[in-house]
Amino acid sequence: MRVSRLFAPTLRETPAEAEIISHQLMLRAGFIRKAAGGIYSYLPLAWRVLKKIETIVREEMDAKGGQELAMPVIQPAEMWQETGRWSVYGEEMFRLKDRHNRNFCLGPTHEEMITTLVRGEVRSYRQLPLLLYQIQNKYRDEIRPRFGLMRGREFIMKDLYSFDRDEAGLDQSYKKMYDAYTRIFTRCGLTFRAVEADSGAIGGSGSHEFMVLAESGEAAISYCGSCDYAANVEKAELQPVQAQAEECLPLTEKATPGTKSIADVSQYLGVGPERTIKTLAYRTDTGSVVLALVRGDHEVNEIKLLNQVGCLQLDMANDEAIAGILQSHAGYIGPVGLDGSENVIIVADATVMNMYNAVCGANKRDLHYSNVNPSRDFKPAIIADIRLIQANDPCPRCGEPVKTARGIEVGQVFKLFTKYSTALQATFIGEDGKERPIVMGCYGVGVSRTMAAAVEQNYDQHGIIWPVPIAPYQAVVIPVSSKDEAQTAWAEKIYGELCAQGVEALLDDRNERPGVKFKDADLIGYPLKVTIGPKTISENLIEVKVRRTGETLYFSPEDYLEGIR
């Protein structure tokens, strides 16, 4: 490819809307252009990077026995109604109607679709295990689509689903995917860490997130330098500390007992869509369940509050489970903003509210329960406070001080067990002749987010520094003077040789000043610049500059190819 023909419009200025480095640099270097918030065109350079990441992903999935297929982006509402997620998914789901007024959505994920597909075709244990995957656009109407490709509303995901006979099979599939993900991000040249994505305290680790370490990461992780402990801080083990009853602030008086769906709760909060509030579920030591919903970015307050009522965080990574709790336990709904801001509400059964009352002591106002026995005697004692793990806290596994870091979630592996197969009746006949639900797992890689994460981790003041395995091109050949015929002839020759040798190379044949050509090359981030200048003509030397190290190497025309490799 000749740079004069390349569709990579670079910008001198950093666009104002771009807050993080990857967004800024990919706009400036001509990789992406915005169509609407969170919706981007991938220009040729970006597309080459994405194809390389996809190839790595595909090779690793295939190596584990994954079979690629393609499912529809447009999904009928019925299968989502069967699992209950049509109502629970909320406004993050892009919905549409056909001319007959039938409901559809643009797939945010494909558990419903693939389980429905498999249930019609798999009948016997002999057909299991199965690992099926696709690489496709996903659609999520994120509340805050920002940071360019990092949180898009249309984005590329690899999603694989495993189908096994039993939990032992699921464990094997899970391990295969965990290993494959480790290889994928290693091959992409990224520094990452796999972290437990649910509390190890409850139910073991049924999920891991793969985090690319970067300051701009939205997730906080804690990890141990001495053992293999690593967890998403939000989901990490909680630290017991002594409770301070005085710290509790009064409840506000507003409350609506008996409200029972996430939609109702959202409406009550006046925030409209259910996805504009965050949900976290907890379990108390008496076994009751409390669900907290919090508006905006007030999780920290909310967690503090729940700590004060002695709750342990539950593994509640999915909306259905939360909806289930709402339906079975909702005894109270009311704002309990720590600062009176009403940003936090909790939904809990009577036991939890009793504990809450006990902690709040003299400060408490009227609480509104449904079915609470008003004569019940509350004991103001109990409380063991808990909080999220912090830097230098003892590691839950080995006791050494833990470290904290920020990360970008580029992938997640997840044991689903029989959640979807039960809801959608995807069963098989076992060796013993008995019918049982297929045991499932799901495994996602954010392909477009991985590209953005790679930039977050690999740049300098001049631009992007692509890791070689995912670079759009490996080398650009730059004649210093486009007017010098000897130089341009040499550049053509070297460029031709590189291409013939299978090196993905570009020739910067533009009639531009050398500074412009070098600047663009650094901004775009090709791993190697091969410069043809006066030295080439007078001393028979080809200059090769390594983008990452800034190193300059000189080779003779006979051995530069060896040197480049």
Question: Which residues of the chain form contacts with ligand ATP (CB under 6 A)?
Answer: 109, 140, 142, 151-152, 155, 157, 409-412, 444, 446, 448-449
Q: Tokens 């690489």, residue?
A: 135
* Residue with smaller CB distance to ligand ATP, 335 or 446: 446
Minimum CB separation from ligand ATP for residue 302, in Å? Answer: 18
Minimum CB separation from Mg ion for residue 38, in Å? Answer: 12
* Residue with smaller CB distance to ligand ATP, 90 or 446: 446
* Residue with smaller CB distance to ligand ATP, 343 or 412: 412
Binding status of residue 448 toward Mg ion by CB under 5 A: no
Backbone angles phi, psi at 379, to 5 degrees: -100, 115
Q: Is 558 exposed, middle or buried (0-12, 13-18, 19+ CB in 10 A)?
A: exposed
Answer with the entry of ligand ATP, Mg ion, none that 446 interacts with (C-beta below 5 to 8 A by kind): ligand ATP
* Residue with smaller CB distance to ligand ATP, 211 or 498: 211
Answer with the entry of Mg ion, ligand ATP, none that 217 interacts with (C-beta below 5 to 8 A by kind): none
Alpha helices by DSSP H, 270-397: 299-308, 319-329, 350-360
* Cα distances (angstroms) measured from residue 379 to each of 253, 348, 353: 22, 18, 12
Minimum CB separation from ligand ATP for residue 188, in Å? Answer: 13
* Residue with smaller CB distance to ligand ATP, 142 or 497: 142
Characterize the bridge pairing of strands 435-437 and 289-295: unpaired
* Residue with smaller CB distance to ligand ATP, 334 or 446: 446
Among all residues, whose Cβ is closest to Mg ion? 412
Q: In whole angstroms, give the CA distance from residue 472 to residue 156.
A: 17
Answer with the entry of Mg ion, ligand ATP, none that 410 interacts with (C-beta below 5 to 8 A by kind): ligand ATP
* Cα distances (angstroms) measured from residue 548 to each of 336, 468, 507, 526: 52, 10, 20, 9
Answer with the entry of Mg ion, ligand ATP, none that 525 interacts with (C-beta below 5 to 8 A by kind): none
Q: Which of 350, 456, 447, 363 is nearest to 408 (CA)?
A: 456
Minimum CB separation from ligand ATP for residue 218, in Å? Answer: 6
Answer with the entry of ligand ATP, Mg ion, none that 310 interacts with (C-beta below 5 to 8 A by kind): none
* Residue with smaller CB distance to ligand ATP, 350 or 410: 410
* Residue with smaller CB distance to ligand ATP, 446 or 479: 446
Minimum CB separation from Mg ion for residue 192, in Å? Answer: 14
Helices 21-28 and 447-457 cross at an angle (nearest 10°) of: 100
* Residue with smaller CB distance to ligand ATP, 25 or 408: 408
Minimum CB separation from Mg ion for residue 446, in Å? Answer: 9
Give the per-residue SS3 of 182-236. HHHHHHCCCCEEEEECCCCCCCCCCEEEEEEECCCCCEEEEEECCCCCEEEHHHC
Answer with the entry of ligand ATP, Mg ion, none that 337 interacts with (C-beta below 5 to 8 A by kind): none
How many residues are recorded in the chain? Answer: 565
Stretch that binds Mg ion, among 296-304, 323-331, 382-390, 401-409 (CB under 5 A): 401-409
Q: Which of 155, 183, 143, 170 is nearest to 73 (CA)?
A: 155
Q: Tokens 């839950």, residue?
A: 396
Count of residues touching Mg ion (by CB under 5 A): 2
Q: In whole angstroms, give the CA distance from residue 426 to residue 123.
A: 9
Answer with the entry of ligand ATP, Mg ion, none that 411 interacts with (C-beta below 5 to 8 A by kind): ligand ATP
Minimum CB separation from ligand ATP for residue 139, in Å? Answer: 9
Neighbouring C-beta atoms of residue 483, cutoff 10 Å: 8
Backbone angles phi, psi at 42, to 5 degrees: -95, 115
DSSP 476: E
Among 412, 457, 474, 531, binds Mg ion (CB under 5 A): 412
Q: In whole angstroms, give the CA distance from residue 77 to residue 88.
A: 12
Answer with the entry of Mg ion, ligand ATP, none that 472 interacts with (C-beta below 5 to 8 A by kind): none
Minimum CB separation from Mg ion for residue 409, in Å? Answer: 5
Alpha helices by DSSP H, 84-166: 85-88, 111-121
Minimum CB separation from ligand ATP for residue 216, in Å? Answer: 13
Among all residues, whose Cβ is closest to ligand ATP? 446
Minimum CB separation from ligand ATP for residue 340, in Å? Answer: 30
Answer with the entry of Mg ion, ligand ATP, none that 155 interacts with (C-beta below 5 to 8 A by kind): ligand ATP
Q: How far apart are the first and last CA of the chain?
A: 20
Stretch that binds Mg ion, among 14-22, 252-260, 403-411, 451-459 (CB under 5 A): 403-411
* Residue with smaller CB distance to Mg ion, 108 or 479: 108
- Pair 331, 349: CB distance under 8 Å: yes
**Cα-only R_g, the chain:** 28
The alpha carbon of 348 is separated from its chain's Cα centroid by a whole number of angstroms, namely: 30
* Residue with smaller CB distance to ligand ATP, 231 or 367: 231
Backbone angles phi, psi at 218, to 5 degrees: -80, -15
* Residue with smaller CB distance to ligand ATP, 410 or 542: 410
Instruction: Give the sign of the dihedral formed by CA 20, CA 26, CA 27, CA 29.
Output: positive
Answer with the entry of ligand ATP, Mg ion, none that 151 interacts with (C-beta below 5 to 8 A by kind): ligand ATP
> What is the binding site for Mg ion (CB under 5 A)?
409, 412
